[in-house]
Structures are given as C-alpha cells and as structure tokens.
Structure 1
Amino acid sequence: MHTPDARDRDIELAELGDGLSALRLCDTAALETMRRSLTRHGQLDAVSVFADRGQIELLDGFKRARAARILGWPTLRARVVDADVAEAKILLVALHDRRGLTELEEGWLIRSLYHDHHLSQPAIAARLGRHKSWVFRRLLLVEALDPAVQADVRLGLIAPRAAVAVSQLPRGNQHAAAGVVIRRGLTVRQTELLVAELLDATDDAARAEQLARWLARWLDEGAQGAPGAKPGVRPTRRSRSELDWLAGDLRTVRLVAARLEARLSGGTLHTIGPEAAALAQDSLVALVPVLDALGRTIQLVCGDSAALKDKDAA
C-alpha cells in the first residue's frame, strides 16, 4: 500500500462533489473491478480534488469514489489540487493523456472549455499541448453527433468507438443507425461496415432501405451471420428445451438486475448528464410495473408449486 503523502487528507464522501463526472463515462466492469480492489486492498492511491466556490469537487478518481459509495465507506483519502474549474478540466485531459479517455470524453471536455469557459480553439490547443486540428476534430465530433446517440453511449448501450463511426452519417440518420447497432449488438467493425454502406447510399430512402436490410440479416438471433454471409444459410443449432430457455432467462434477469442495481446505487443518474438521465428515468419508471407484474406472477406460480408439493406429500 502506498504511503500517504503529507498533503493527503480524509474527505467525507457525502461532501465530495462529482460535477466533472458528467464529462466521463461509467464502465460497469471497471467499476466492479475497482469495488473488488477496494474490498481486498483498501485505497491504494489518493483521489485528486479541487475547491470550487466552497465545494470540494473530484478531479480524478471517479471509479474509486463510486465504488467507495457502493461499499458504504464514509471517507476517502484525497489530495487537494490548486485549480479553478477550467484548469481542473485541462488537468483532467493531461492526467489521462493518451490513456483512459475516449475520443468522446475528450470532445466533451473540449466542448465544455469552448462553450462554458469561452476559451478559443487555439487557446485550448495551447493549454493542452495539442495541435489546433486535434482540438477541432474532437469538437466537431461531439457537435456533429446526435445528442440521443451520445445519451446511448452514456447509458452503455453503444460503444464509444461505434458512436464515433455513426457520427460520420448525416445527423438525421444517426439515431436510426445507432438503433440497429444496439438492437443487433453489432461490434465496432460491423458498425463501421454499416456506416460505410449507408454513406454509399444516394439519399435518405436508400439509407432507410439499407438499415432495414441490416435488421433483417440479424433475425433469429443473428442466425444468418454478419454481412458477407451467404443469404438463407443458417448454422445448425441444437434445439433448446423449455427448461433451457427458462434457465437462461433466469440467469439473464439476475445478472442484469444486479448490474442495474450497482449502477443506480453508485450514483450513475447523477453523473451521465441531464439528457441521458432523463431517458434513464423514463425507462426506470416504465420498468416498475413490469417488475411488479413479474413479481406477482412468480408468487402465483411458486405458490401453486408449493400447494402441489403439499398435496403430493399428503
């Protein structure tokens, strides 16, 4: 374990703000890895924080803070950095230079510096030690990408690199294309192939036809394979029994429910931005009656099973 620096001090988690986390993505797998690390080894490194109008805000260490909240820790060891909000955002890019930040996260940070702090693109480039063309490309990426697709990225529905590929499409086609990517679970490479085909299309009608064909290719759980597979040829599959389907559904529900609970208890809704949070809240509210109905059905079925067992025993 690292020896605490003299500048480190314990900070109450309840008093620790995470405003900058809206500029970062939340990876559930990485969060779970961090939770296990904290459980096993404790806090190895201090998080970085800065003061903003009397509020202590996280600069670096968002996964540690979220994992600590899930574990119910009261405090974290932190190192205070002397910086204002704009400087903190610049430091955030520098701390993750060439590692850790996706192109979208870099774009969100640059857009914030450009719009919220009114720094010019050349000034941002100079502060980050980057060429102004790099700043322009990142800013163009997030300005060109449909906000709904960006919300999908924040919710973990589409990979950041897949969203970058989708950003090449006209704005009006991006949401539909992202929907195909999400519904069919396309890889980044498959998304790039989809985007290439759509860019070759001559108009919106032709692109809509291409999207419909891509959806059709993955019918019956992708049995026809990726683009390039022979149409009509399906791999041989072992017939699944009703018990197989039931067991698979039970595993899926348990896994997804546990993952969703971890995301919510970790404060995800407060960190994904207002647009994504609004979408998530609507979906969560719509989920409640579904879960209630499932709970009632489970009680009914299990109650019938228990009655049958008692009858057989008698």
Structure 2
Amino acid sequence: MENLFEAPMTRREVAISALDLRYENCRMKPAVLEERLLGSIAERGIEEPLEGVELGERSVLLNGFTRYRCARKLRIETVPFVSLGRDEATGIIVLLRIANDKSLSILEQAAFIDELKNVRSLSGAQIAAELSRSKAWVSMRLGLIGGMSAAVRQKLFGGLFPVYAYMYTLRPFMRMNGGGKEVEEFVLAVSGRGMSVRQIECLARGYFHGGDAFRQEIRQGKLALPLERMKEVAASADGCTEFERAMLRDLEVAQKYLLRVMGKSGDRRLESGAFHAQAQLLTAGILSRVEAFVQSVRRLHDRGGPA
C-alpha cells in the first residue's frame, strides 16, 4: 500500500449536507459525551476538524460523528474537515494508526478492521502489517465483531448496553455454550433499562446458570423480581459452611465443563484416530455414570424447594 503519510492533511470547510455517513454504524453513540459536547460547540464552535476521505463531491466521514450530530442540532451549515487518504481503506488504516485506545474503543477498532477484511479484501496479515500490530491483535478483534449478531451490535453501538458487561460478563458464556442465541436474547431483554454493570452481571449469572422460569421472566422484561432473587442468593451464600461452599464450587465447575463439552463435541476438528480412541474410553465412562449423576443432581435440586 502507498505511503500513508506522503501528503500533509489539509483542513478545509465542507457543507454538512455533503458528508457521507456510511461508516456511522462503526462508531459508538456516547449520549453523555454528546450532551456535554453540544454545550461546548454552542459556545466555541467545532475546534477539532472532522476526519474522513474525499470521494468525488462527497466527503466520507470516518471520525467525528458526535461533532456532526451536535452541528446538526445547532443548525451549523459547514464544518472543518481533513482527508486521511485517497480512498476508504487508506483512510481507515490511517485512522486506526493515529487513534489511541481512548479515541477508538475496541469495538470501533473491530468494526473498522472487519470492514478492511470483509469489504476491502485485505487479509489479516496485511492489516496487521499496515497497523504495525500482531496478527493476534487483529484476529481477536475480528473474532469479537464476527461473533456478534446484528441485533446485539445495534444495542452496543447505540449505547443501550454496556460494552464492559458484554466483553467480560457475556462473552465467556458464548464460549462455553458454543453459540450466541441466548446472549442475544439476554442483551435484547436488558438493553435500555438503565442497569449498572453489577446489576447486569447479577442477572446474567441467574439467566445462564438458572432454570427456564428464571430466563423466561427476564425475556419478558420482568427484571425487578429476578434481580432481587439473585441478590438474596448472593447474600445467603455468605452463610454457608466451608463444606457447602466447596460443593457450590464443584457444581459451578460441573456446569462449566458440561457446557464446554456440549459446545465442542460436534466440532469437525475432532477427527484424528488417536483422539477418538481416547475419547471413546472417556465417554464410555461418563455415559455409564450419567443416570446416577442426573439422579443425584435432581435430588439435590429438589431438597432446596422450588427455584
């Protein structure tokens, strides 16, 4: 690819009506920041230019969507603009190189990298080389955006569901379950309800580890009662004996590996003769104990009364 910095970036004024917003879905919509920025722009104008690329008579916007929305609200007709390159791929690469982790979130980085790979046809190795990053850095972001449904992406980028809760609370459940359908249902049920990360984590624990009745309540948007129930569970755990706490840990481990085996067992990568020879011995042992295991778990469940 050409030298990305071969020409200086020249600032000029462009009509707000000439801005092309095709990449708006690659950027987050931070409502709090937008409200704060609106007052600043009303008082001092737009000090930092918007960034993108020039394509004929259109100025394709890559960076500055919050400033753009503020300008629209304030009925500002022209905005400062600088071009980052001769085409969209170059502009995206320049933006990824000059932006730090504060100005571009990991989800925004992932969305732009996905654009480079799947629309602009750059390989992961090419992207890594252009950005002076490792292949693992690129692969992690491609996996992040690739495993996200359109509905979940809309909620996250729209600021209706906390990114932190998705990254560190929900994604581990996706890896264990081998799919994202339940995660999508949870995100859609909880989005836009003004819940804290701690509250979401509490509900997620019950949703993914609890029974069908608990999940159904959350799917229907009835969050207050399940949340209160999970708070009671957390509080009652402090009154357990050491033996009881050890048993709870065993149950958590059993559920974790049960989900992992269910998710991985159909993977086509499990194909070698050596693997299947050992797997048959292990699965035979497991199957011989399944009925007894289920009965013991059911007895334990029934001793506690209705969930």
Query: Pick from 210, 219, 227: which aligns with 2:224?
Result: 219
Q: Which amino acid aligns with 1:167?
A: R
Change (3 A) 1:74 1:184: closer
Secondary structure at the residue paired with 2:81? strand
Query: Pick from 83, 89, 94: which aligns with 2:92?
Result: 89
Computing the radius of gyration from Cα coordinates, the structure with the larger value is 2
Change (3 A) 1:210 1:34: same
**Offset at 1:73?**
0.7
Secondary structure at the residue paired with 2:191? helix
Q: Which residue of 2 aligns with 1:176?
A: 185
Within the alignment, does 1:135 sit opposite 2:138 as a pair? yes
Change (3 A) 1:198 1:141: farther
Q: Which amino acid aligns with 2:181?
A: G
Count of aligned pairs: 222
The gaps in structure 1 that reach 5 residues or longer are 232-314
Change (3 A) 1:184 1:228: farther
Change (3 A) 1:29 1:140: same
CA deviation profile, 1:145-180 (whole Å, cap 9, x unmatched): 222111222333211222223233221211222144
Q: Distance in 2 between matches of 1:6 and 1:117?
A: 23
Within the alignment, does 1:229 sit opposite 2:208 as a pair? no
**Offset at 1:194?**
5.0
Change (3 A) 1:97 1:73: same
Q: Which amino acid aligns with 1:140?
A: G
Which segment is superposed worse, 183-192 or 57-66?
A: 183-192
Query: Pick from 176, 183, 196: which aligns with 1:187?
Result: 196
Q: Which residue of 2 aligns with 1:100?
A: 103
**Offset at 1:224?**
5.7
Change (3 A) 1:193 1:110: farther
Residue 11 of structure 1 contacts residue 75 of structure 1 at CA under 8 Å; is this kept in 2?
A: yes
Q: Which residue of 2 aligns with 1:166?
A: 170
Residue 150 of structure 1 contacts residue 163 of structure 1 at CA under 8 Å; is this kept in 2?
A: no
CA-based RMSD: 3.1
Residue 149 of structure 1 contacts residue 163 of structure 1 at CA under 8 Å; is this kept in 2?
A: no
Return the TM-score normalized by structure 2: 0.62
Change (3 A) 1:207 1:123: farther
Return the TM-score normalized by structure 1: 0.61
Change (3 A) 1:218 1:62: closer
Q: Distance in 2 between matches of 1:183 and 1:8?
A: 38
Residues 20-169 of structure 1: pairs in structure 2 closer than 5 A: 20-164=23-167, 165-168=169-172, 169=174
Q: Which residue of 1 aligns with 2:279?
A: none
Residue 18 of structure 2 contacts residue 57 of structure 2 at CA under 8 Å; is this kept in 1?
A: no
Residue 203 of structure 2 contacts residue 227 of structure 2 at CA under 8 Å; is this kept in 1?
A: no
The gaps in structure 2 that reach 5 residues or longer are 1-7, 238-307
Q: Which residue of 2 aligns with 1:311?
A: none
Q: Distance in 2 between matches of 1:44 and 1:163?
A: 33
